[in-house]
Structure 1
Amino acid sequence: METKKFTRKEIAERDTKAETVFVIANKVYDVTKFVDDHPGGHEILMNVAGKDASEQFEDAGHSLDAKELMNKYYIGELVDQDKRHNIDRNVNWNLPPVSEEPASGFLTSWKFPAALGLLLTLLYTYLFG
């Protein structure tokens, strides 16, 4: 499947809450469905809608999880003549896709909090009981 190409002019026209699109590291993301769920509030995304948000995204110090989540909203790239080739960040945007399956394992299940609670109860009983 061929990557869809966008011009900066096309991106600039998509700067509303009904269609929130921006560029990060020459890649185009449509975060319309994520605007209300953004942990920092929708205002942050609306301030960069229709623009290149590379600097703001990196300056915010997003986690690896946030960067992986971006794969879900990736819709294409800028056309070659609109790309900025002087991006001096060492960013790997070719992260593996985010799994839709819930995480499983001891630390992510109910078992860990239950075991920790039991251990703390026994410790409290031993020390103060």
Structure 2
Amino acid sequence: MGGDGKVFTLAQVSEHNTPKDCWLIISGKVYDVTKFLEDHPGGDDVLVSATGKDATDDFEDVGHSENARGMLKDFYVGEIDASTIPKSTTYTPPKQPNYNQDKTSEFIIKLLQFLVPIAILGLAFGIRLYSKSS
């Protein structure tokens, strides 16, 4: 097909998003895969769903053969203007509240205030039963 050095924006590529007019971006290059939709082994839905975005990750994740990579040149129409593709953002976890040691200490103290008297009563009761049986 030959792109003659044309440079497209993401908006221009995303206009070609139907089964009758389907363009993809793979590794910074723009491809018109409309004529390949029926022949694509993964089905045409896979290609149509990848329009309007950089489909490089999708293409690489599948693990296309060298033959499939070679076929791309037949569908090449130009380059993508990289400045029009949004930068991917990294996940930033939400800020967690600080661990409050004081509340943990409070809980342990309250637990001990409950368990220690029960332990003392159990020990006293055990000693009394032991001394009566001797």
Q: Residue 51 in 1 paired to residue 42 in 2? A: no
For 2:49 and 2:5, the matched residues in 1 are separated by 26
By how many angstroms is 1:79 displaced? Answer: 2.0
Aligned partner of 2:75 in structure 1 is: 73
Tell me the equivalent position of 1:5: 7
Q: How far apart in 2 are the matches of 1:2 and 1:45?
A: 24
Unaligned runs of 5+ in 2: 89-134
Q: 1:32 to 1:2 in 2, by over 3 A?
A: closer
CA RMSD of aligned residues (A): 2.1
Instruction: Could you tell me which runs of 5 or more consecutive residues in structure 1 were left unpaired when the two chains were aligned.
Output: 87-129
User: For 1:81-120, what aligned pairs fall within 5 Å after superposition?
Assistant: 81-82=83-84
Q: Which has the higher helix share?
A: 2
Segments of 4+ in structure 1 off by > 4 A? 83-86
Identity of aligned residues (%): 40
Q: Select between 66-75 and 1-10 the one with higher mean Cα deviation.
A: 1-10
The aligned length equals 86
Q: What residue identity is the alignment partner of 2:57? A: E
3-state secondary structure, aligned to 1:3: coil
Q: Can you list the C-alpha shifts for 1:41-60, whole angstroms capped at 9, x where unaligned?
A: 11111110222100000000
Bigger Rg over Cα: 2
Shift of 1:12: 1.1
Select the residue among 18, 30, 33 that pairs with 2:32: 30
TM-score, normalised with respect to structure 2: 0.59
Q: With the length of structure 1 as denominator, give the TM-score of the two structures.
A: 0.61
Larger relative contact order (CA 8 Å, sep ≥ 6) = 2
Q: Which amino acid aligns with 1:3?
A: G
In structure 2, the CA distance between the partners of 1:74 and 1:84, relative to structure 1 (3 Å rule), is farther
Number of the residue aligned with 1:20: 22
Partners of 1:9 and 1:85 lie apart in 2 by 15
